[in-house]
């Protein structure tokens, strides 16, 4: 008996050293710490090691002991990403696959994400590889529940649902349709007896902390519904800002026009987070018990960056001398008040939406999107890293954030791939 305990102690000590080595081995790849912790140890088969010391083996009389250090096999766990075709959604799909989950990408129009077409491959090829793309309208609660029930039956249950849903425009009608109702549909479908998903991860927004916009109020209404229910555990992640949100003037300054900022450029500051780092955080939240039933503010690794500082960094990336224009903040008020007056006078939904768009612009010009607590900062990619990258490669066109950007054509994409190869 003493010999057995001694040998077990030796084996445990060796396995600790092996595990420590695996965790401390440097990895040049992005997100290396996360990656190391999710890869199975290859150096020893610990059950065989224990059996060998005890005089047994796979074919012997002694049963192999379970490996206490082996990570959980995530391939048996199904993760559904709603809003998978969006900016953060598609990165979340890629990270879910990378971490080993059986990943379902829920999209409204699967034809747009068909990677067998040149357009689909250019936009989604690198993101959806290894995932199953399912077309489903999240605005149709009955169809959504039936589809999730089907997926649960086919995959032995649903481990998690991650909602990356967000309205594109932020106007009232869109916000309550998507940020609230469609997201609520995902929650209620996940809670249905036919589905019974375990955990819900919500991509919310840092700006809901000071809500004077319609989309913020819609997000808060859903957050209230999520925190009030007891059928699923949850994690609510509120990122400060995305990199693309502060990259909109790249093409402007590349063309020789000045960088526009409001006030003196020092009114507010932020520490945005990259889509890849945010996606990693969202996926990690599926099993991280410290984030369970929590609301988490999250920013990137940067120090506070004012708008002027962001402009200087963008000029540095493109190799030009800074050239700024300072616009007074009161311009927002004049425009917003005028649009709102027309909307109220003529009962115009169009002018109401225009006024709301103006309020959104003003909000981001004057409100800080900043986390300073180290526990609320995550990732490795800085904004300067991002600017340096898009200054060379360009960025995807987005009508809500970039002014003159355009996605690469199929020919450009093919040429880039050939050069890379």
Question: Which residue segment(s) compose the domain that 160 sits in?
Answer: 74-244+271-301
Task: Tell me whether residue 344 is in a domain.
Answer: no
Task: Tell me whether residue 403 is in a domain.
Answer: no
Note the pTM of the prediction, 2 decimals: 0.79
Phi and psi at residue 338, to the nearest 5°: -65, -45
User: Poorest-confidence range of 4-8, 154-158, 331-335?
Assistant: 4-8
Task: Tell me whether residue 208 is in a domain.
Answer: yes
Task: Tell me whether residue 331 is in a domain.
Answer: no
- The count of domains in the chain is 1
pLDDT at 303: 97
CA 115 to chain centroid, in Å, comes to 21
Residue 416 pLDDT > 50: no
**DSSP summary character for residue 72:** P
Q: What is the DSSP string of 107-161?
A: ES-GGGG-TTSHHHHHHHHHHHTTSEEEE--TT-HHHHHHHHHHHHHHTTS--EE
Q: Which long-range contacts (CB under 8 A, 24 or more apart) does 222-228 make?
A: 222/179, 222/180, 222/183, 222/184, 222/187, 223/295, 225/184, 225/187, 226/187, 226/200, 226/202, 227/293, 227/295
Q: Read off the pLDDT of residues 64-108 as tens digits, 9 standing for 90 and up.
A: 344 444 456 888 999 999 999 999 999 999 999 999 999 999 999
Task: Tell me whether residue 364 is in a domain.
Answer: no
pLDDT band at 23 (very low <50, low <70, confident <90, very high): very low
Q: Read off the pLDDT of residues 305-330 as tens digits, 9 standing for 90 and up.
A: 999 999 999 999 999 999 999 999 99
pLDDT at 7: 37
Q: At 410, is the secondary structure helix, strand, or coil? A: helix
User: Poorest-confidence range of 28-37, 57-66, 163-172?
Assistant: 28-37
pLDDT band at 287 (very low <50, low <70, confident <90, very high): very high
| Residue from 82, 90, 75, 81 nearest 128 by CA | 90
Could you tell me the CATH number of the domain that includes residue 294?
3.40.50.720
Report the 10 Å Cβ neighbour count for 82: 29
Task: Tell me whether residue 379 is in a domain.
Answer: no
Task: Tell me whether residue 104 is in a domain.
Answer: yes
Rounded to whole angstroms, how far apart are CA atoms 132 and 129? 8
| Strand residues in 216-348 grouped as ranges (E) | 233-239, 259-262, 269-270, 294-298, 305-306, 324-327
Rounded to whole angstroms, how far apart are CA atoms 218 and 141? 18
Rounded to whole angstroms, how far apart are CA atoms 387 and 309? 12
* More confident: 389 or 28: 389
Residue 138: which residues within 8 A CB-CB, separation 6 or more? 82, 83, 106, 108, 144, 165, 182, 183, 185, 186
Task: Tell me whether residue 28 is in a domain.
Answer: no
Rounded to whole angstroms, how far apart are CA atoms 16 and 10? 10
Rounded to whole angstroms, how far apart are CA atoms 261 and 365? 8
């Amino acid at each position: 008996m003493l010999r057995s305990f001694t040998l077990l102690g030796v084996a445990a000590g060796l396995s600790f050293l092996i595990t420590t080595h695996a965790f401390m081995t440097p990895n040049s790849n992005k997100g290396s710490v996360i990656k190391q912790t999710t890869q199975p140890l290859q150096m020893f088969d610990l059950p065989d090691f224990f059996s060998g010391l005890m005089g047994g083996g796979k074919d012997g009389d002694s049963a192999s002991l379970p490996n206490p250090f082996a990570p959980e096999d995530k391939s048996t766990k199904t993760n559904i990403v709603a809003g998978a075709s969006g900016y953060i959604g598609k990165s979340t799909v890629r990270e879910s696959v990378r971490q080993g989950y059986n990943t379902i990408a829920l999209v409204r129009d699967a034809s747009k994400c068909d990677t067998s077409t040149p357009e689909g491959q250019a936009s989604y090829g690198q993101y959806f590889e290894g995932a199953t793309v399912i077309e489903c309208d999240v605005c149709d609660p009955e169809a959504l529940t039936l589809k999730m029930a089907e997926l649960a039956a086919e995959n032995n249950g649903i481990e998690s649902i991650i909602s990356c849903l967000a309205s594109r425009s932020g106007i009232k009608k869109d916000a309550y349709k998507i940020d609230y109702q469609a997201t609520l549909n995902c929650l209620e479908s996940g809670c249905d007896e036919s589905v019974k998903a375990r955990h819900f991860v919500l991509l919310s927004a840092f700006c809901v902390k000071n809500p004077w916009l319609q989309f913020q109020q819609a997000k808060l209404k859903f957050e209230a519904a999520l925190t009030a229910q007891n059928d699923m555990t949850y994690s609510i992640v509120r990122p400060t800002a995305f990199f693309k949100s502060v990259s909109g003037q790249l093409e402007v300054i590349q063309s020789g026009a000045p960088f526009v900022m409001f006030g003196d450029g020092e009114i507010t500051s932020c520490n945005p987070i990259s889509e890849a780092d945010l996606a990693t955080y969202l996926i990690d939240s599926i099993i991280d018990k410290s984030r369970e039933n929590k609301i988490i503010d999250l920013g990137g690794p940067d120090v506070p960056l004012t708008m002027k500082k962001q402009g200087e960094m963008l000029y540095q990336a493109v190799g030009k001398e800074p050239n700024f224009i300072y616009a007074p903040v009161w311009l927002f008020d004049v425009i917003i008040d005028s649009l709102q007056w027309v909307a109220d006078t003529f009962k115009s939904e169009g002018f109401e939406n225009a006024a709301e768009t103006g309020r959104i612009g003003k909000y981001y010009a004057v409100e800080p999107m900043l986390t300073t607590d180290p526990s609320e900062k995550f990732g490795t990619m800085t904004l300067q890293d991002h600017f340096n990258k898009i200054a060379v490669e360009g960025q995807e066109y987005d009508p809500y954030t970039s002014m003159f950007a355009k996605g690469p054509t199929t020919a450009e994409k093919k040429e880039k791939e050939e050069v890379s190869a």
